[in-house]
């Protein structure tokens, strides 16, 4: 920023509309949400003027509840499982589809589709895959002789968790593939050539050349992936709605349930605020990480 | 040397084989959705399943399009309206803001960028209750406006951060020259910067549209009247009533993603560009 154009004050007018909009519909609601979480707001007190201020009572009761511990556990398991597989397959696809030939580019483009179709449709598609009768997963396992009877994937706690993880892995792979393949395309080709000359094998080239050179892409994809998976909502809501017996109750679904099913707005707000704080911590870590490489 | 080329050929062959195999696995669910939508309901439950619809039928589509459970044309129309208005609103606001953040000396620029970055990471449930109450009190509840305003908050942070990198990549001398020639900052923005960054602008429009079109949770929470539902809320509500009418559900899914697929076919370059620009440089 050596030289600045004249009339810098004009700059504020460009930013103001978007900022004002975000203030009205994001920042103010977030503050409002925090206020609700410090009050006692249920359906009966919603419209009354003076809502009782209860301090951190909601936080204490939420943090002590078994349901919260369950939803946190489910969310963490879901996130870790999804990210591990999405990263692995995304990386694999990025490596394999590195070649710039037309058929490869076309295949890569088509593989983007799972990422851009609405989560609602993805959820219904995977509900069909995991259907007890007529679902291809059961049919395939039967044909391979791996199971004897059809499994009710979405009707049992453990298999339901597996189902939502598989569904989410599928739609997240393209995200990792694209981010990582951009990173890969920026690694100079002669790095590989000279490594090959020195007798490095494929595995050594991966560890000593590829990974260090795409570190930024790896970091960005992992942190963003974790944030997006941690706040996943629609896919699971449509597939299982948190059930059976809360086995797929992600924190987002848990919060929604309190606010819009049992109308305990304060509890719902408290849960979403805890979720927000977790994501904020991850987000700030990301910003700190990126800050080193990127001049804001 | 001959040995080396032979070895190279073999490894290339295996690479291609693995590539095709992975590709097939990745797109199989899409293939399965398409074929299931063209099967008769009874054929879905055949064991072993048909990998290709032996008696292709449009039954599922006709049943879906004439169903009185949810008027799908109206749903698509609602989706289009909500998404298009959101697109124009979010893209315009963010392109302006991105330009301001890329070209002017702004107090608290870092804080502003941080706010946009954070709002991109917020869980949607954190604003759901307060916005529900706000929309109720200002009379926006149960209108398209509620969905539009809520959906725009998804697109704006993404587009601001992404567009800013486009504007930053254009040399400052270019619009300085325009300013010396007597252009105001707004004129140089419209006449010089926008045409140069047209790729980024396309990305902003496409992503604002996609975010809005894909939304379920906002419209589900803020719109009560089923005649105003976007198609995602429609499909969510209909699915419960289908039970196991899978071919009909898949047909509904196909109709829902058709606009997205069309956009993807024509705008694919911008979607990939936007994903990388928006996330890595964010």
| CATH number of domain containing A255 | 1.10.3720.10
Got the DSSP string for A219-264?
Answer: HHHHHHHHHHHHT--HHHHHHTTT-STTTT--HHHHHHHHHHTS--
In angstroms, how far is CA B16 from the centroid of its own chain? 31
**Cβ of A95 under 8 Å from any chain B Cβ?**
no
* Beta bridge mates, A39: A53
Contact, B200 vs B278, CB < 8 A?
no
pLDDT at B282: 35
Residue A205 CB contacts under 8 Å (≥ 6 apart), including other chains = A192, A195, A196
Residue A151 · residue A132 · CB < 8 Å: yes
Chains A, B: CB pairs < 8 Å: 283
**Other Cβ atoms within 10 Å of A20 Cβ, number:** 11
Nearest CA among A249, A243, A247, A270 for reference residue A259: A270
Give the separation between CA B240 and CA B218, rounded to whole angstroms: 19
Q: Give me the domain span that covers residue A163.
A: 51-293
Measured distance CA(B181)–CA(B236) in Å, rounded:
56
* A291 contact B CB<8A: no
Residue among B130, B152, B229, B272 with most chain A CBs within 10 A, to mutate: B130
Q: Do A5 and B175 touch (CB under 8 A)?
A: yes
B279 vs A239: which has the higher pLDDT: A239
A20 is a domain residue: no
Dihedral sign of CA atoms A110, A129, B231, B63 in order = positive
In tens, the pLDDT along A267-277 reads 999 999 999 99
DSSP labels for chain A?
A: --S--S-TTHHHHHHHHHHHHHIIIIIHHHHHHHHHHTB---TTTTTSS-PPB-TTHHHHHHHHSHHHHHHHHHHHHHHHHHHHHHHHHHHHHHHHTTS--HHHHHHHHHTTHHHHS-HHHHHHHHHHHT-TTT-HHHHHHHHTTS-SS---GGGSHHHHHHHHHHHHHHHHHHHHHHHHHHHHHTS-HHHHHHHHHTT--HHHHIIIIIHHHTHHHHHHHHHHHHHHHHT--HHHHHHTTT-STTTT--HHHHHHHHHHTS--HHHHHHHHHHHHHHHHHHHHHHHHHHHHH---
With contacts defined as CB-CB under 8 Å, which chain A residues touch B32? 125, 128-129, 136
Residue A29 in any domain: the answer is no
Say yes or no for a CB contact (<8 Å) between B257 and A183.
Answer: no
Nearest CA in chain B to A281: B118
A 200-229 → B contacts, CB under 8 A: 216-217, 220-221, 224, 227
- State the pLDDT confidence band at A292, using cuts at 50, 70 and 90: low
Exposure of A155 in the CB half-sphere (CA atoms within 13 A): 6
Check residues B279 and A224 and name the one with the higher pLDDT.
Answer: A224
Omega prior to A244 cis, within 30 of 0: yes
ipTM: 0.90
Between CA A220 and CA B204 the distance in angstroms is 20
B254-257: long-range contacts at Cβ-Cβ below 8 A with a sequence spacing of 24 or more? B254/B33, B254/B34, B254/B37, B254/B61, B255/B61, B255/B64, B255/B65, B255/B72, B255/B76, B255/B231, B256/A118, B256/A120, B256/A121, B256/B76, B256/B231, B256/B232, B257/A117, B257/A118, B257/A121
Q: Among B23, B48, B217, whose Cβ lies nearest the Cβ of A107?
A: B23
Cβ–Cβ of B280/A183 closer than 8 Å? yes
Is the separation of the CB atoms in A190 and A205 below 8 Å? no
Q: What is the pLDDT of residue A8?
A: 67
Cα B125-B129-B135 angle, rounded to 5 deg = 120
Indicate the pLDDT class of residue A69, thresholds 50, 70 and 90: very high
Q: Are A113 and B93 an interchain contact pair (Cβ–Cβ within 8 Å)?
A: no
Number of separate domains in chain A: 1
Q: Which two tokens stand for residue B236?
A: 């969510």
Q: Are B205 and B197 in contact (CB under 8 A)?
A: no
pLDDT at residue A295 in the model: 39
CA distance B94 to B88: 10
The answer to whether the Cβ–Cβ distance between B272 and A112 falls below 8 Å is yes
Give the per-residue pLDDT at B2. Answer: 60
Q: Which of A166, A112, A100, A111 has the alpha carbon at shortest distance from A136?
A: A166
Mean pLDDT of A209-220: 85
What is the overall mean pLDDT for chain A?
A: 87
Q: What percent of chain A has pLDDT over 70?
A: 94
Q: Is residue A226 part of a domain?
A: yes
Q: Is the pLDDT of residue A77 over 70?
A: yes
Does a structural domain hold residue A261? yes
Best residue in A32, A41, A104, A128 for a mutation probing chain B (most B CBs within 10 Å): A128
The alpha carbon of B10 is separated from its chain's Cα centroid by a whole number of angstroms, namely 40
The one-digit pLDDT tens for each residue of chain B (282 residues) are 566 677 778 888 888 899 999 999 999 999 999 999 998 888 888 877 888 888 888 888 888 888 777 788 899 999 999 999 999 999 999 999 999 998 888 888 888 988 898 888 889 999 998 999 899 889 999 999 999 999 999 999 999 988 988 888 888 888 778 878 888 878 888 888 888 888 889 989 999 999 999 999 999 999 999 899 999 999 898 887 666 688 889 999 999 999 999 998 888 888 877 777 655 443
Interchain contact, B185 vs A170, CB within 8 Å = no
- Mean pLDDT computed over A115-134: 92
Of B123, B176, B253, the CB nearest to A276: B123
Q: Tell me, which fold does domain B63-280 have in CATH?
A: MetI-like fold (1.10.3720)
Each residue of A207-227: b (16+ CB within 10 Å) or e? eebbeebbebbbbbbbbbbbb
Q: Is the pLDDT of residue A1 over 50?
A: no
The boundaries of every CATH 1.10.3720.10 domain in chain B are 63-280
């Amino acid at each position: 920023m050596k030289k600045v154009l004249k009339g810098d004050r004009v700059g504020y007018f460009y930013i103001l509309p978007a900022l004002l909009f975000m203030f009205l519909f994001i920042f103010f609601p977030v503050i409002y949400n925090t206020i609700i979480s410090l009050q006692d707001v249920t359906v009966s007190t919603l419209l009354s003027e003076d809502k009782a201020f209860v301090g951190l009572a909601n936080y204490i009761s939420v943090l002590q509840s078994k349901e919260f511990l369950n939803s946190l556990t489910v969310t963490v398991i879901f996130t870790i499982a999804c990210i591990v597989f999405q990263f692995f397959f995304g990386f694999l696809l990025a490596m394999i589809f590195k070649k710039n030939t037309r058929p490869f580019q076309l295949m890569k483009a088509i593989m983007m589709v799972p990422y851009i179709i609405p989560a609602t449709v993805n959820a219904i598609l995977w509900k069909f895959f995991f259907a007890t009768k007529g679902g291809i997963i059961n049919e395939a396992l039967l044909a391979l002789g791996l199971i004897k009877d059809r499994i009710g994937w979405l009707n049992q706690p453990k298999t339901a968790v597996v189902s939502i993880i598989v569904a989410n892995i599928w739609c997240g792979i393209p995200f990792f593939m694209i981010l990582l393949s951009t990173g890969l395309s920026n690694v100079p080709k002669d790095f590989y050539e000279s490594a090959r000359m020195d007798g490095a094998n494929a595995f050594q080239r991966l560890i000593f050349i590829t990974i260090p050179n795409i570190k930024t892409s790896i970091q960005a994809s992992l942190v963003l992936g974790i944030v997006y998976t941690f706040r996943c909502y629609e896919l699971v809501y449509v597939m299982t709605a948190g059930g059976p017996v809360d086995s797929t109750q992600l924190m987002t679904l848990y919060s929604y349930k309190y606010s819009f099913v049992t109308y305990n707005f304060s509890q719902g707000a408290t849960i979403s605020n805890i979720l927000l704080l977790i994501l904020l911590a991850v987000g700030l870590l990301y910003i700190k990480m990126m800050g080193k490489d990127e001049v804001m | 040397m001959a040995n080396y080329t032979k070895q190279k050929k073999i490894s290339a062959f295996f690479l291609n084989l693995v590539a095709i195999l992975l590709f097939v696995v990745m797109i199989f669910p899409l293939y399965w959705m398409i074929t299931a939508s063209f099967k008769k309901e009874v054929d879905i439950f055949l064991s072993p399943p048909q990998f290709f619809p032996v008696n292709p039928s449009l039954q599922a589509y006709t049943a879906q399009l004439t169903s009185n459970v949810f008027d799908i044309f109206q749903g698509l129309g609602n989706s289009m309206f909500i998404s298009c208005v959101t697109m124009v609103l979010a893209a315009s606001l963010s392109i302006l803001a991105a330009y301001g953040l890329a070209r002017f000396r702004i107090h608290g620029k870092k804080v502003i960028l941080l706010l946009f970055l954070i709002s991109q990471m917020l869980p949607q449930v954190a604003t759901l209750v307060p916005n529900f109450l706000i929309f109720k009190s200002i009379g926006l509840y149960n209108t398209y406006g509620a969905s539009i305003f809520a959906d725009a908050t998804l697109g704006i942070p993404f587009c601001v951060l992404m567009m800013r990198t486009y504007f930053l990549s254009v040399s400052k001398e270019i619009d300085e020259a325009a300013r010396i020639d007597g252009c105001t900052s707004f004129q140089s923005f419209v006449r010089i910067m926008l045409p140069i960054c047209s790729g980024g602008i396309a990305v902003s429009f496409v992503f604002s549209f996609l975010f809005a079109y894909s939304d379920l949770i906002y419209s589900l929470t803020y719109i009560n009247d089923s005649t105003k539902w976007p198609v995602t809320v429609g499909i969510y509500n209909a699915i419960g009533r289908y039970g196991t009418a899978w071919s009909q559900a898949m047909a509904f899914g196909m109709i829902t993603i058709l606009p997205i697929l069309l956009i993807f076919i024509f705008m694919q370059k911008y979607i990939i560009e936007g994903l990388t620009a928006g996330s890595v440089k964010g």
